[in-house]
Structure 1
Amino acid sequence: MMRFQRPLSYALLAAPLVLAACSSSSDDKFPNNLEIRLQDAPGDFQAVVLDVQQIELHQKEEGNPDGWQLLPFQAQPINVLDYVNGRSALLVSTDFDPGTLKEIRLLLGPDSYIIGRDGQRYDLKTPSGQSSGIKLKLSKENLHQLSGTYQLLLDFDVAKSITERGNWKPGNDKKERYLLKPVIRVVAQNIKGGMRGTVAPAVARPQVLAIRSSITPADTFSTSADVAGAYQLGALPSGTYRVEFFPSASAPANQPSYKHVVRTGITVTNDQVTDLGTTSLQ
């Protein structure tokens, strides 16, 4: 995807997980409230379940092992495919000091797995996530406008995060079929532009790329249309975009082929969602 990134809708809908309660500060030392949310885009699996055990913040200079602070989070399995097209899971809500927020770290347990299109369960091996954790850096741009309640969105990229072992064969139980190498983008939720639309026919299940051509180098975001043909991209910076649709399925023999379609001159403005209507892929 060049640098594929899949954001969410500007309007985040909280999901009914067993979530962390807000911590309190009796002396108001930390006037800011931090919310950490997780979202994904439709992927080619029935389920992708992450065994999330801990979430931590790093509050000192990079490389300082003493800077990690454990956040109030109840360990739980999370099916990231439950949080697509405008839905997100609220993982953490807590008081914090924005001046010291450097990194986020997710520690995964041994029970992450996927349910494939064949209905079978396959364990996901994540060596780094189960040992040193998955570290996500926050840029200065994420931090300079913090006030009141501030949201960070963990944008999980299923397509880039799950890879199939080249030596796996059907019926081979001794080798795991899939590896999890998480690719997660941290999005500051003061970026609230977005776009949405549908494709026809829905069975084409295209990958959707939004390429911000108004900057150099261009910035690319991606998602996939769901089974109803709907797609939604959010947390998009303002600008002019080229949107490309790449069908992932082939048309039946008695129908016209599905086409790669390009739409240009799509404008995204902060605090607004641009509706592209229906795009025909035939």
Structure 2
Amino acid sequence: MKNTWKNLALGTFMLGGIATLTACSNTDSNGGPEKTRLQIALTDDPGDYAEVWIDVKEIRINSSDADDQNWVPLPGVKAGAYNLLDLVNDKDTILADAEIPTGKISQIRLVLGDNNFLVTNDGKRLPLTTPSAQQSGLKLNIHQAVIGGIINKLTLDFDVAKSIVKAGNSGKYILKPVIRTVLEAVGGNIRGGVLPDSVQTAVLAIQGADTVASTYSLNGGYLLRGIPAGAYSLHFIPTDTNFLPAVKNAVPVVLGQITTVDTVRLQKK
């Protein structure tokens, strides 16, 4: 989106829904531990079929190493049918986008329904049966930390060619998912403060002529999430027109890190 300073001023009151605002501390708004945002994405390696559909019902996460306890359903899962062969050549789709406590993910379970099937290259639709041992969900070991305050993306890389097994000469196909997991930070974050804290202020991260991220200050604090690594200028546009806009230049963003910016003090006209 191309912007001039005039356009920024005119657009101040239209920015509220563009980005999610969180507090600039290590606790959430209820005084609890800092949360982290976890996205779970699904992608695929090609297989020799026209279509391969899986029926995603639920994703559960576990922060402990115990297999039989501490499993928690992940909120916000987009349950439904997914054609894995739509997700090749670095394409993916987001299965879940949720906030979880900062810490580590030891394991996840991908719970599938019964409507799994493939379509052969000559157009035949064949059901994919799932072994009974996987009815409670396919367990995947992660054993990695999720970084607080940023977006963490866990990609489930489905290997179709290895995941579909033909059962002898019966004509039946069994789904035994082979999945590689990759957990990575998505960009970095910028946080800071604006004074006076009673003045709500639009905060925009701009690179060149493009607005990359934006939010509003809340009680003087702001947090911009998931910004690609690089250098940005931060533009502060107060909603109270008695105060002047401000700019901070050359603000660095590093992948997987939070850049804390010195507090900006707005000047009256």
Query: Normalised by the size of structure 2, how large is the TM-score?
Result: 0.54
Q: Cα distance 1:157–1:134, how it changes in 2: closer, same or farther (>3 A)?
A: same
Structure 1 residue 160 corresponds to structure 2 residue 162: yes
* Rounded Cα–Cα distance in structure 2 between residues aligned with 1:87 and 1:123: 25
Moved over 4 A (4+): 144-147
Structure 1 residue 83 corresponds to structure 2 residue 87: yes
Partner of 1:119: 123
Equivalent position to 1:179, from 154, 174, 177: 174
Q: Cα distance 1:157–1:129, how it changes in 2: closer, same or farther (>3 A)?
A: farther
Partner of 2:36: 32
* Rounded Cα–Cα distance in structure 2 between residues aligned with 1:68 and 1:34: 14
Structure 1, residues 48-99: CA drift from partner, whole Å, max 9, x if none?
1001111111133323423333432132001111111121010111111231
More strand by share: 2
* Rounded Cα–Cα distance in structure 1 between residues aligned with 2:166 and 2:64: 37
Matches within 5 A, 1:154-233: 154-168=156-170, 177-190=172-185
Structure 1 residue 59 corresponds to structure 2 residue 63: yes
Structure 1, residues 125-181: CA drift from partner, whole Å, max 9, x if none?
012475221011113xx3265650010100001111001111225xxxxxxx21100
* Rounded Cα–Cα distance in structure 2 between residues aligned with 1:70 and 1:109: 16
Q: Cα distance 1:82–1:30, how it changes in 2: closer, same or farther (>3 A)?
A: farther
- Structure 1: give runs of 5+ residues left out of the alignment: 1-21, 170-176, 193-270, 272-282
Q: Secondary structure at the match of 1:159?
A: helix
- Mapped contact 1:107–1:129 kept (Cα < 8 A): no
Q: Cα distance 1:138–1:146, how it changes in 2: closer, same or farther (>3 A)?
A: farther
* Rounded Cα–Cα distance in structure 2 between residues aligned with 1:153 and 1:188: 6
Q: Secondary structure at the match of 2:92?
A: strand
- Structure 2: give runs of 5+ residues left out of the alignment: 1-19, 23-27, 188-254, 256-269
* Rounded Cα–Cα distance in structure 1 between residues aligned with 2:184 and 2:166: 33
Q: Cα distance 1:86–1:66, how it changes in 2: closer, same or farther (>3 A)?
A: closer
The percent of aligned pairs where both chains have the same amino acid is 36
Structure 1 residue 97 corresponds to structure 2 residue 101: yes
Matches within 5 A, 1:267-282: none
* Rounded Cα–Cα distance in structure 2 between residues aligned with 1:144 and 1:37: 15
Q: Cα distance 1:130–1:64, how it changes in 2: closer, same or farther (>3 A)?
A: closer
- Mapped contact 2:36–2:147 kept (Cα < 8 A): no
**Amino acid aligned to 1:49:** W
**Amino acid aligned to 1:188:** L
* Rounded Cα–Cα distance in structure 1 between residues aligned with 2:68 and 2:62: 9
Query: Normalised by the size of structure 1, how large is the TM-score?
Result: 0.52
* Rounded Cα–Cα distance in structure 2 between residues aligned with 1:116 and 1:132: 28
* Rounded Cα–Cα distance in structure 2 between residues aligned with 1:65 and 1:149: 26
Q: How many residues align?
A: 162
Structure 1 residue 143 corresponds to structure 2 residue 145: yes
Structure 1, residues 95-126: CA drift from partner, whole Å, max 9, x if none?
11231421111111111000011200000001
**Amino acid aligned to 2:177:** P
Partner of 1:133: 137
* Rounded Cα–Cα distance in structure 2 between residues aligned with 1:135 and 1:129: 10
Q: Secondary structure at the match of 1:106?
A: strand
Q: CA deviation at 1:26?
A: 4.5
**Amino acid aligned to 2:76:** P
- Mapped contact 1:59–1:68 kept (Cα < 8 A): no
